[in-house]
Each structure stands twice: as structure tokens, then as C-alpha cells.
Structure 1
Amino acid sequence: MQSPLFPLEKPTQIIQSNGDVIYYPSIFSEEESNELMLSLIHNIEWKQEPIWLFGKKIMQPRLTALYGDQDVNYGYSGITMRPNPWNETLIFIKSKIENLLKSEFTHVLMNFYRDGQDSMGWHRDNEKNLGLNPIIASVSFGTSREFQLRRYESKLEKKSVMLNHGSLLLMQGETQHYWEHQIPKRKKVNDPRINLTFRKILG
């Protein structure tokens, strides 16, 4: 892999009212991103698990995995995930993110979108064990997908950004109180994308 000192493109502030969302278009080089993508596809224990949605049990429209510190599990939407131990690829990515943001993370929740039919519905990352104002560092590899945000209460004000290969989206401050986000389905997308959301889970 290349040096973690790969020069960053200028970040863009997506939200700064009742939240703080910043987009870094490229924190890994293309060569580095390609190598990391392949490693994640082949060296992660991906699963497709059922969740409860509006009172019904359905299979998640994507593959998921949780890696991190072994003494703390993570739960959402009626499922509890036990973390796998960190591997070399994840430690490399984690170190890059922590050095850039000057923050520490205990876990990474990963999503594998196999094509445009895989998606993530509207939600907030507001579980109690993430703390009051969690820092969520979202790294993307693979095909670009649209990331949408909207005001949680009114549903009126909306923001959108394309998450590119090797990019980072940072959500922090009051974001999870006032904004929700999703990855919508896209029929014309045929290629895969992997997303890693680094977070600090409280014991």
C-alpha cells in the first residue's frame, strides 16, 4: 500500500447548521483504494441478516459486518452484532482516519452494496451506546453512490453528495439529533460499493 501521507483534496462542508458534516473527496489514492477494496471483498466475514422494519422481519438489502474491540457488542434494528477482531486492512484504514481526525474509534460497521438494488433506508445513528454527539467517520470504496441527508422533523431541507472511491464523510456534533440519512436504490448502478463507518461504542 502507498504512504498514508497521500495529499488530501480540499474538504467540503455539507452541513453546518444543527450539525456538522464534512466531505473529503479523496483520502486514499486510486491505487490504494483499489487494493483496499479487493482486500475488503475477500477478507471480511460478510453476512446478510434479518432486521425488524415496521413490525415485519425482512432481510437487509445489503451485506454487513462488524469489526472492533472484542468486549463491546453493537445493536440496531432488533439485531445484536458481536465484533470480529481487527485485521491488517482495517487497522491500516483505521490508523489513517484516526490520524487525520485526531479521534479514536473502537468499532467499524461495514456495508457491502453489491449493486444499485442494495440500499440503506432513512435512519439516524443515535443509539445510546454511541454517546450524546457521536463522531461517525464514513469511508467509501467502489462505485460512487448518492448519500442523502434531510431534516429529521420537517423532512423538507435536504442535502446530497456523491460518495466516491477512497472518500471520507465525517458526521459529528448535533448531526444525529437533527438530520437523518440514507443510500437510495439506483437501478442503473451495476457495480459494488463498500462503506466503513468508524465509531466509538461505549461499554
Structure 2
Amino acid sequence: MSGATASGGWQRIALPEADVALWPHWLDAGEADALFAELQQVVAWESHRIRLFGREVASPRLSCWIGDPGAAYTYSRTRFEPRPWPPALAALRERVGQACATHFNSVLANLYRDGRDAMGWHSDDEPELGVQPVIASLSLGVERRFRFRRRRARGEPARPGDTFALALPHGSLLRMAGTTQQLYRHDLPRMRGLDVPRINLTFRCIDTSAH
């Protein structure tokens, strides 16, 4: 992988001043297959409404906010109260936490039904996540392209190398930490001709004292 160095099964992604690491095969294929099939059935998938360019529209994917009691999350001016942890995710969060040396009290589950479902440019920088949050992103299903783009001041021109793309394969774990959310935005672009689904789990730690 261009821009990455490997150590002990994980690869450090070379984003200047950021802290990003990828475990391409964090789950083996059999376990990833079983988890993907189970989550499709047990998660209460919903179509969330978000504000985009001043209009309220349906989010281009299905989602479910899951977490400990009190771990509410506000996104696009909408407050989401957490649903209880399904057993499969309750066990998984302990393992993800150990890999990332972080305690997670919530997870945003996203179901991308096909290549038309996507995620626009944004940073996970909501106040309840803290100044330098650790975000752990587990991918299941079809491999998709994930991009980082250096944040720019208003009017600042784009520069070569501002955007960096990497593939997130089935069973991979991506960790974003440090100043990553302050310095970069990320997205998951549409993929023409793709008709198979993907699930993404982004584990977070919500500051419940902020509510």
C-alpha cells in the first residue's frame, strides 16, 4: 500500500501530522463472514434524516446508533439516543478497545446497500467526542475506497497530495487518533456498478458528562 508502513500486522498510514493505522485482516474471513450475516439481521437499521445545504434529506445509507445508557450523539442537528448493544457487538467492542488501547462506549453502525450509498466529506469532531478522539472503524462486506482530504482554510487553494485514498477490505480495522479529525476530512465515495452491500462499524467514546 502506497504511503503505509507495516508493523505486527498493522500498517501506519502516512498522513502528515495525523495518527492513522490499518489492520487489513483484523478478522479472518470466516469470522468476518459470520459477523456480517448476523449484523444484517439483528441491527435495527434506520434511514436517518440529515441537513444538507440547508435542506433535510434522507441519509444515503442505513444506520443505527448503539451504546451505553447516556451515550447520546448529536449529528447534523439531530440527537440520537443509543439503542442497546446486541451481544455480537458487545463482545466485539472489548476486542476493538484492546487493539486500539481505548475504551469505547458507543458505535455507529452503517449499512451501505450498494455502490449508490455513500458518505460525504466530514470530520468526526462533534464536541462530545473530545478534542482528539480515537475512532475505530471496522469494515465488513465488499471492499470500498475510503479517502482523506486535508482541511483547508476558506479560500485556500488545493495542493497536490491533499487527498489520500486507501482500500478497506472485508474484516479490516482502521484506527484514527491524535489530530486526525482536526486536520483531515474523510469520505466514502459512490462506486458505480456495485450491487453488493457493506457494513461499517465506527466505535467511539462519547463524553456523557457533556449532556
Does the TM-score normalized on the shorter chain lie above 0.5?
A: yes
Q: Shift in Å at residue 101 of structure 1?
A: 1.8
Secondary structure, aligned partner of 1:140 = strand
TM-score (norm. length: structure 2): 0.90
Q: Deviations over 1:51-80 (max 9, x none)?
A: 101101110000000111111210111211
| Aligned match for 2:185, one of 155, 180, 191 | 180
Q: Is the 8 A contact 1:14 1:159 kept in 2?
A: no
Q: Deviations over 1:91-130 (max 9, x none)?
A: 1211211122221001001110000000000000000000
What are the within-5 Å matches in structure 2 for residues 79-90 of structure 1? 79-90=78-89
| Aligned match for 1:167, one of 155, 172, 176 | 172
Q: Which runs of 5+ in 2 are unaligned?
A: 1-6
Quote the residue 2:45 is aligned against: 46
Size of the aligned set, in residue pairs, is 196
TM-score (norm. length: structure 1): 0.93
What are the within-5 Å matches in structure 2 for residues 93-132 of structure 1? 93-132=92-131
Quote the residue 1:193 is aligned against: 198
What is the CA–CA distance in structure 2 between the aligned matches of 1:118 and 1:78, rounded to whole Å? 21
Q: Let me know the Cα RMSD of the aligned residues.
A: 1.3
What is the CA–CA distance in structure 2 between the aligned matches of 1:177 and 1:56, rounded to whole Å? 26
After TM superposition, which residue ranges in structure 1, 4 or more long, deviate above 6 angstroms?
none
What is the CA–CA distance in structure 2 between the aligned matches of 1:170 and 1:109, rounded to whole Å? 14
Q: Which runs of 5+ in 1 are unaligned?
A: 1-7
Secondary structure, aligned partner of 2:133 = coil
One-letter amino acid of the counterpart of residue 56, structure 1: R
Q: Give % identity.
A: 37
One-letter amino acid of the counterpart of residue 48, structure 2: E
